[in-house]
Chains A and B, each alone.
Chain A
Amino acid sequence: MSSPRPPIPWPAVLRRLVVAAASLALVATLVFATFEWLADPAALRLGRGASPEAREAMRAAMGLDRSVGTRLLEHVARAITFDFGPSQARGEPAGTLMLQALGPTLAYALPGWLLGTAAAVLGGLAAARRRGVDRALSGLSMAVISTSSVIVVVLAQHVLAHRLGWFPVLGWPLAGAGASPLVYVMLPALVWALLQWGPDVRHYRAVFERELAVPHLDGLRARGVPERRALRHALRAAVGPIVARVGQRLSHVVVGSVVIEELFNIPGLGALLVAAIHEADAALVQAIAVATAAVTLAGQALCDGVVWLVDPRVRRRDVA
């Protein structure tokens, strides 16, 4: 365990950075192409009944009358430098709007994410080891997976907040509300944890089942190594798959849950996205898509780094 710190493979890191930048450029191009081919941002802004003249004037005002190539290059260059330009409906810079919305989202999504991951890992481990626990948790996870997130959020809010009164009904303190902010984010975080726990516990159960059945653990057990020690080996081997899953969830944490934010009235990124859809604010939607993709790519790189540090098998194959 106390091996000397491995040297960082700089060529692999550099390659990784180049690939990430190329991916981001590709995402920006895709987002641009979607709106270029499928919809006219000027027509979206004006609604379906607008006259052709008004649409042309709007196109000129929005700078859409320039050539496609110029606008594509501008769009991609902006995306790579994280300068997303102004929102069409609100006039403020999209980057500022997103940063403002990120706080409320993280306030409930981050605790919910931690709670859901911890509960799912522990539940998965317990389910992989004991048959009775497995049956109960599988049933529960199946129920959560089968229920649309809309229903889960609506029912949780109604039962726990309206009926039982354990939590405030809204998830974000209005001006002048007395209670501490912690109380408000508790229920949204719990609902988030539940929604994430459903599919995750199944995933982790499968991971642990595979790791607990590997032959070298049987070898350890046959030599009389206590089960607790054997379990430690299994846990260390399972770090890779767990971290990979956690990394996948990172992008969800940044966007937040559209339904939770709508029902609990939280001014987060999910709510901003829905508002942008309703206001037909193509620029803001594009900015959110590119920014969240950037966060996802960064999260993946971070997780690969963690696995590289923890798992010597990955290091030896130099899969950085």
Chain B
Amino acid sequence: MTRALGRAGRLALLGIGGFVVLALGAAVGLWAQAWDVPVGRPYMSPGTGAWLGTDALGYDLFAQAVQGARVSLVAGVGGAAGTVAVGGALGAWAGLRGGWTDRLLSGATDAFAAVPSVVALLAMALALGPGVSTVVVAIAATQWTGVFRAARAEAQRLRAADYYRAAQAMGAGTLHQIGWHLVPALRPVLLSALVVLFAHAVKVEALLAYLGASAPELPSWGKLLARSGSELARGVWWPTLAASAPLALLVLCAQVLADRSGRRSE
């Protein structure tokens, strides 16, 4: 399976694995624990005592950058999984049932998709209050329309397929139909959507954190970026680097992986 990804795809997979290891280690307390206590003066430059320097309050930026991977990965995985679950289930239902179920669900999806996603995300964030779970729920509740359309198209194809109609004619039960026909038919579409949405969800989390709608108690890359505009103007470049380098790297890895796995399924 990994051979089909090519060298770039395998490197990307390795990169994401590295982020997962970093986040797990930070979560269980192996490293980067000193992120919420001052380790020196504010805005110490990199190398002097702290690897990546310190931020406005004298906190270690390297520890914050490592800890930030936790929120990003949780939001990315949770948001992508939630989106695929909601969109996949509704899309499969609409596509397999057809008729008025399909018409109503598709109409509702079109209406839902008409709200620009920034507006929907921020409205959800306001209604739910800041937090990691807010980010996950907001992503899952607002981004599913694309998955819905892909899953619906795939389910419609399955509905018309001879083997599926034969199974129905032979009296296959609902569970058998779902496990034996629906899930395998949808798997390639949903898997590639999962990777694409992971990259998207990581970016959305950074945006929400930048706007102050993500977890208030945990360090995150988006939160570090919130001050970077004024810091860069004063010549303090290291907080921006500490936040943007891992963020861009993680999204790049996910994006490359999405491209490669998409190519494979064609």
Return the contact of A293 from the options B114, B212, B228, B240 (Cβ within 8 A): B114
Q: Looking at the assembled complex, report how far the CB atom of A209 sits from the nearest CB atom of chain B, in whole angstroms.
A: 13
Interface contact B115-A273, CB-CB below 8 Å? no
Contacts of A255 in B (CB 8 A): 116, 118-119
B252 within 8 A of A: yes
| Chain B at the A interface: SS class | helix
Return the contact of A154 from the options B107, B118, B203, B240 (Cβ within 8 A): B240
Q: How far is the CA of A22 from the CA of B108 in the complex (A)?
A: 9
Contacts of B212 in A (CB 8 A): 278
Knowing A146-B255, A274-B122, say if A35 contacts B127 (CB, 8 Å).
yes
| Bitwise interface map of A from 283 to 314 toward B, beta carbon under 8 Å scored 1, else 0 | 00110110011101100100000000000000
Q: How far is the CA of A39 from the CA of B127 in the complex (A)?
A: 5
How many chain A residues touch B (CB < 8 A): the figure is 53
Interface residues on B, range: 35 or more
Interface contact A292-B247, CB-CB below 8 Å? no
A88 within 8 A of B: no
Contacts of B233 in A (CB 8 A): 158, 162, 169
Q: How far is the CA of A157 from the CA of B231 in the complex (A)?
A: 12
Q: Considering only CB atoms, which chain B residue lies closest to A294 in the complex?
A: B114
Interface contact B207-A258, CB-CB below 8 Å? yes
Interface contact B248-A154, CB-CB below 8 Å? no
Cross-chain pairs A/B with CB under 8 angstroms, 27 sampled: A22-B107, A26-B108, A26-B112, A30-B111, A31-B115, A38-B124, A39-B127, A146-B248, A146-B251, A146-B252, A150-B206, A150-B225, A151-B240, A162-B233, A251-B116, A254-B116, A255-B119, A258-B118, A273-B118, A273-B119, A276-B126, A277-B213, A278-B212, A285-B122, A288-B119, A289-B115, A297-B114
Chain B: residues with CB nearer than 8 A to chain A?
107-108, 110-112, 114-116, 118-120, 122-129, 199, 203, 206-207, 210-213, 222, 225, 228-229, 232-233, 240, 244, 247-248, 251-252, 255-256
Chain A: residues with CB nearer than 8 A to chain B?
19, 22-24, 26-27, 30-31, 34-35, 38-39, 44, 142-143, 145-151, 154, 157-158, 162, 169, 251-252, 254-255, 258-259, 262-263, 270, 273-274, 276-278, 280, 282, 285-286, 288-289, 292-294, 296-297, 300
